Structure 1
Amino acid sequence: MQKIIQADFNGQAMHFTADGWFNATDAAKKFGRRPNDWLALPETARYLEALERKYGKIPYFKTKRGGDTGKSGNAQGTWLHPKLAVRFAQWLDVDFAVWCDDQIDGLIRSEISTHRPATIPSASRDRAVLLHMAVDMVLFRGVGFGKAYSLLNAYAGTHHLAEMSLDQVEQTAQFAGRLMVGSDTRADWSRIAANNPDIDREFAQRGLPYAA
Structure 2
Amino acid sequence: MLTHFWRDSEINQMLQDGQIGKYTIPKGYVNASQMARANGKLLADYTRLKSTKEYLQALENDMGIPISLLVIEVKGHGNEQATWTHLEIAIDLARWVSIPFRIWANRTLLKVMLSTQVEQQPIQEPQDTSKALAPSHEAAQLALLVGEFAGLEKSLTAQLAVNAATSVNPALKPAADELKTAIACTDPSDDAYLNPTQIGEAIGKSAIAVNRWLINAGLQYKTDDRKLPYRPTESGKQWGRMVSAVARGSNQTVFQLRWLPEIVQVICQ
Normalised to the residue count of structure 1, the TM-score between the two structures is: 0.51
The one of 132, 137, 140 equivalent to 1:166 is: 132
Shift of 1:93: 0.6
- Large movers: runs of 4+ above 4 Å: 116-122, 176-181
The one of 8, 11, 15 equivalent to 1:11 is: 8
The one of 82, 92, 105 equivalent to 2:87 is: 82
Which residue is equivalent to 1:129?
none
After superposition, the Cα gap between the structure-2 partners of 1:10 and 1:49, relative to the gap in structure 1 and judged at 3 Å, is: same
Q: State yes or no: 1:109 paired with 2:114.
A: yes
How do 1:95-174 residues align onto structure 2 when only pairs under 5 Å count? Answer: 95-113=100-118, 114-115=120-121, 118=124, 164-166=130-132, 169-170=134-135
After superposition, the Cα gap between the structure-2 partners of 1:20 and 1:75, relative to the gap in structure 1 and judged at 3 Å, is: farther
Q: SS in structure 1 opposite 2:41?
A: coil
Please tell me whether the aligned partners of residues 30 and 86 of structure 2 are also in contact (alpha carbons under 8 angstroms): yes
The one of 52, 71, 74 equivalent to 1:61 is: 71
Identity of matched residues, %: 21
The one of 27, 36, 56 equivalent to 2:44 is: 36
Unpaired runs of at least 5, structure 2: 16-26, 137-164, 174-269
The whole-number CA distance in structure 2 between the counterparts of 1:75 and 1:120 is: 41
Aligned residues: 130
Please tell me whether the aligned partners of residues 64 and 75 of structure 1 are also in contact (alpha carbons under 8 angstroms): yes
The whole-number CA distance in structure 2 between the counterparts of 1:80 and 1:111 is: 17
The whole-number CA distance in structure 2 between the counterparts of 1:118 and 1:94 is: 41
Please tell me whether the aligned partners of residues 74 and 80 of structure 2 are also in contact (alpha carbons under 8 angstroms): yes
The whole-number CA distance in structure 1 between the counterparts of 2:65 and 2:172 is: 49
Greater share of residues in helix: 1
Shift of 1:102: 1.7
Q: Which deviations, in whole Å up to 9, do the C-alpha atoms of 1:38-80 show, x marking residues without a partner?
A: 111100011112212211133211012225x8xxxx4430111
Greater share of residues in strand: 2
After superposition, the Cα gap between the structure-2 partners of 1:120 and 1:106, relative to the gap in structure 1 and judged at 3 Å, is: farther
After superposition, the Cα gap between the structure-2 partners of 1:36 and 1:108, relative to the gap in structure 1 and judged at 3 Å, is: same
Q: State yes or no: 1:22 paired with 2:33.
A: no
Q: Which has the higher contact order (CA 8 A, sep 6+)?
A: 1
- The amino acid across from 2:116 in the alignment is E
CA RMSD of aligned residues (A): 3.3
Please tell me whether the aligned partners of residues 4 and 10 of structure 2 are also in contact (alpha carbons under 8 angstroms): yes
After superposition, the Cα gap between the structure-2 partners of 1:22 and 1:57, relative to the gap in structure 1 and judged at 3 Å, is: same
After superposition, the Cα gap between the structure-2 partners of 1:120 and 1:55, relative to the gap in structure 1 and judged at 3 Å, is: farther
After superposition, the Cα gap between the structure-2 partners of 1:180 and 1:33, relative to the gap in structure 1 and judged at 3 Å, is: closer
Q: SS in structure 2 opposite 1:107?
A: helix
Normalised to the residue count of structure 2, the TM-score between the two structures is: 0.41
The whole-number CA distance in structure 2 between the counterparts of 1:101 and 1:80 is: 15
Q: SS in structure 2 opposite 1:15?
A: strand
